[in-house]
Structure 1
């Protein structure tokens, strides 16, 4: 179905569990340019999204969850 890229957790002063990640054009931190991230076949507030970038405040779930 897909590849797990990380786990969600709440290890600090946050309002909910979340995942941080960053993609860039260089393997060295702070060098290179940021890259956009797009996900496929997920639901945002229950609406199927074929390809996109989840927006802040949306509840995201797997498309397999109905």
Structure 2
């Protein structure tokens, strides 16, 4: 059986933490920034953990079993 390919879009967007959780960047920080407050933009910079409901999907894209 051939090796499975990792989804190349997913490998650019997600990283694993040391404990095995999946980190992601927050959305809405790429354009139309003039109408967003400084506080809102500052809080969008930080990374967060992928929600429990989406972990299975992301792990399949990254070929993590």
Give the TM-score of the pair, scaled to structure 1. 0.29
Scaled by the length of structure 2, the TM-score of the pair is 0.29
**Relative to total residues, which structure has the larger helix share, 1 or 2?**
2
* Larger Rg over CA atoms: 2
